Amino acid sequence: MILLTDTQRTQLLANGRQPDVDHVPIVKFFNPFGAGVWLATELEANGDTMFGLADIGYPELGSWSFEELRFIRLPFGTGIERDLLFTGDFPISVWADVARQTGSIRDAERLLYRLGRPLTRKSSDTETRRS
């Protein structure tokens, strides 16, 4: 499976040039056999370091290596996959808030799309990566 399309890579790189913006996630990666979900909003110019919301037991905003993610080997010769139907729809800060409240990105996704609208927050709730 292609983990990142050229269009997604281009948008992630563009977002990476604006690191203090509350971007909508561009791509969702997941472990089809268990824990592990990553929502990427940015890609640094090095083409490897991604930023977004990662959940491998607890949702956290942060950075990870795309190459390391790409080379994870799972049972039956599979690897991490890209959610082909994912649409970010909400800024990463909303994803992070709801994921922390529900305990996971997967639970946050169910809640956000059940509500069907962005949740409102106070500006004091916004978390930036420069903090």
Give residue 117's pLDDT: 56
Residues with Cβ within 8 Å of residue 2, at least 6 apart in sequence = 82
Please write the tens of the pLDDT for every residue from 37-89.
999 999 999 999 999 999 999 999 999 999 999 999 999 989 999 999 999 99
- Which strands sit side by side in the sheet containing 49-55, from one edge to the other? 59-65, 49-55, 37-43, 27-30, 81-82
Give residue 1's pLDDT: 79
Radius of gyration of the chain (CA): 14
Give residue 123's pLDDT: 39
The pTM of the full predicted model, rounded to 2 decimals, is 0.86
pLDDT-derived band at 127 (thresholds 50, 70, 90) equals very low
Extract the tokens encoding 13.
Answer: 């790189």
pLDDT at 105 exceeding the cut of 60: yes
pLDDT-derived band at 126 (thresholds 50, 70, 90) equals very low
Neighbours of 102 (CB within 10 A): 16
Extract the tokens encoding 41.
Answer: 């909003």
Give residue 115's pLDDT: 79
pLDDT at 131 exceeding the cut of 60: no
Residues with Cβ within 8 Å of residue 47, at least 6 apart in sequence = 9, 13, 66
pLDDT-derived band at 102 (thresholds 50, 70, 90) equals very high
Q: Among all chains, which residue has been given the structure tokens 């919301």?
A: 53
Give residue 93's pLDDT: 97
Extract the tokens encoding 115.
Answer: 């509500």
How high is the mean pLDDT of the chain?
A: 89
